[in-house]
Amino acid sequence: MRIYRMESYQEVSRRAANIIAAQITLKPDTVLGLATGSTPVGTYRQLIELNKQGDLDFSCVKTVNLDEYCGVPADHEQSYRYFMNHNLFNHINIDPANTNVPDGMAKDLQSECERYDKLISDFNGIDLQVLGIGHNGHIGFNEPDDCFEKTTHVVELKQSTIDANSRFFASVDNVPKRALTMGIQTIMAARKILLIASGADKRKILERALFGPITPQVPASVLQMHNDLTVVCCVD
Ligand code: F6R
């Protein structure tokens, strides 16, 4: 595990973007696992800048997002597809057909989960997976539980996650109660993982995840077992 402790959110974003850019430069057809949430927004801005300056080419990159709400259409501004289009994809030279987000509107959610896992395995897995961390230690939408869920699955969101996400919705009642998420095994199978965290409110959970016992009650703690984990954080 490599930990970069940075001085500010801006520095976190620059370092994380440089790590992603290095990956894409070395392997232009990188399969990039992506996260939504407030943490990676600055990283995505930096990637857009690098792309604009001509220093980073996304034309052969494929992306797979971690998760999506159920029942929120792609063009709804709180869907994760909308988030990705607006915070990254629409501003870089990526082929939209190469960007993938689980379909939370699928009629058969179970089949959608199976399709998503197959897609990732047809890509020969994920080269670099970007992760944020929730206050309860979730990664993607893998919430604290009695066991680690392996593959892409439907989750009932915990009240703490619904509350945390309510800032993005008109009211807490509008926050979807279910989501699709890659499982822990899929995430752990990524060849490299980049975990980014920012804000003093993330300090405690980051410490528990990186140095506490490995337990499904803190899903991110499983990352201690990964052999190529990079953490970029500013949590002081
Ligand atoms: C979203 C995701 C989540 C977030 C986490 C932290 O795709 O993977 O696990 O990374 O909820 O969210 P922020 O960055 O908003 O604190």
Catalytic residue among 65, 67, 98, 117: 67
pLDDT bin (cut points 50, 70, 90) of residue 166 is: confident
pLDDT at 138 over 90: yes
Q: Residue 206 Cα, ligand 1 centroid: separation in angstroms?
A: 13
CB neighbours of 33 closer than 8 A, spacing ≥ 6? 63, 64, 65, 66, 126, 128, 129, 130, 182, 187, 190
16 lines ligand 1 (CB under 6 A): no
In order of 62, 133, 171, 199, 231, the CA distances from 205 in angstroms are 31, 8, 26, 11, 13
Rounded Cα distance between 18 and 35, Å, is 17
Separation between Cα atoms, residue 189 and residue 183, nearest integer Å? 10
Q: What is the position in ligand 1's atom list of the atom closest to the CA of 140?
A: 8
Ligand 1 and 67: CB distance under 6 A: yes
Mean pLDDT of 50-65: 98
- Indicate whether 68 pLDDT > 90: yes
Ligand 1 contacts CB of residue 134 (under 6 A): yes
The yes-or-no answer on residue 67 being catalytic is yes
| Pocket lining: 66 vs ligand 1, CB cutoff 6 Å | yes
Please indicate, yes or no, whether the overall pTM of this predicted structure exceeds 0.85: yes
Closest Cα partner for 143 from 218, 226, 44? 218
The CA–CA distances, whole Å, from 110 to 24, 104, 140 equal: 32, 11, 18
Closest Cα to atom 12, ligand 1: which residue?
A: 37
